[in-house]
Amino acid sequence: MPTNSQTGKAQTVTGAIDPADLGTTLMHEHLLLNVGAYFELPEEASIRSWVDAPLTLGKLGYIAAHWHQNLDNTVILDEQFATDEVGRFMLAGGRTVVDTTNIGLGRDPLALARISRRTGLNIVMGSGHYVRLFHPADMANLDEDSIAADIVRDIKVGVGDTGVKSGIIGEIALMWPHSGNEERSLRAAAKAQQATGATITLHPGFDDGSPPAILNMLDKAGADMTRVIMGHLDTFHDRGLLAELAASGCTLQWDTYGNEETLFGEVGSGSGDILDMPSDEQRMDALEYVAGLGHPEQVLISQDVFIKCMTAAYGAKGYDHIVSNIVPRLRARGWRTGQIDQLLVGTPRRLLTLV
| Residue 182 reports pLDDT greater than 50 | yes
**Helices vs. strands in the chain: H and E counts, helices first:** 13, 12
- Between helix 280-292 and helix 239-247 the angle, nearest 10°, is 50
The average confidence (pLDDT) of the chain is: 96
- Residue 193 located in a structural domain: yes
- Residue 148 located in a structural domain: yes
DSSP-assigned beta bridge partners for residue 265: 274
- Residue 72 located in a structural domain: yes
Cα 54 to Cα 70: distance, rounded to the nearest angstrom: 8
- Residue 252 located in a structural domain: yes
Residue pLDDT, tens place only, 97-150:
999 999 999 999 999 999 999 999 999 999 999 999 999 999 999 999 999 999
CA dihedral angle for residue 277, residue 282, residue 288, residue 292, rounded to 10 degrees? -90
The count of domains in the chain is 1
Q: Which of helix, strand or coil describes residue 36?
A: helix
Residue pLDDT, tens place only, 17-46:
999 999 999 999 999 999 999 999 999 999
Q: Which of helix, strand or coil describes residue 66?
A: coil
- Residue 2 located in a structural domain: no
Residue pLDDT, tens place only, 214-273:
999 999 999 999 999 999 999 999 999 999 999 999 999 999 999 998 777 655 445 556
Cα 136-142-143 angle, rounded to 5 deg: 150
**Nearest alpha carbon to residue 82 among 50, 129, 34:** 34
- Residue 254 located in a structural domain: yes
Structural domain boundaries enclosing 98? 10-352
Residue pLDDT, tens place only, 284-326:
999 999 999 999 999 999 999 999 999 999 999 999 999 999 9
- Residue 109 located in a structural domain: yes
- Tell me the CA distances in angstroms from 276 to 65, 263, 281, one per residue in order: 12, 8, 14
Pairing status of strand 15-17 against strand 10-12: antiparallel
Residue pLDDT, tens place only, 40-98:
999 999 999 999 999 999 999 999 989 999 999 999 999 999 999 999 999 999 999 99
User: What pLDDT is recorded for position 204?
Assistant: 97
**141: CATH:** 3.20.20.140
**Nearest alpha carbon to residue 266 among 336, 203, 194:** 203
- Residue 220 located in a structural domain: yes
Residue pLDDT, tens place only, 266-283:
554 455 566 789 999 999
Backbone conformation region of residue 354, classed left if phi is above 0, alpha if psi is from -120 to 50, else beta = beta
Backbone conformation region of residue 204, classed left if phi is above 0, alpha if psi is from -120 to 50, else beta = beta
**Nearest alpha carbon to residue 306 among 28, 24, 27:** 28
User: Span 192-220, mean pLDDT?
Assistant: 97
Claim: this prediction has a pTM higher than 0.85: yes
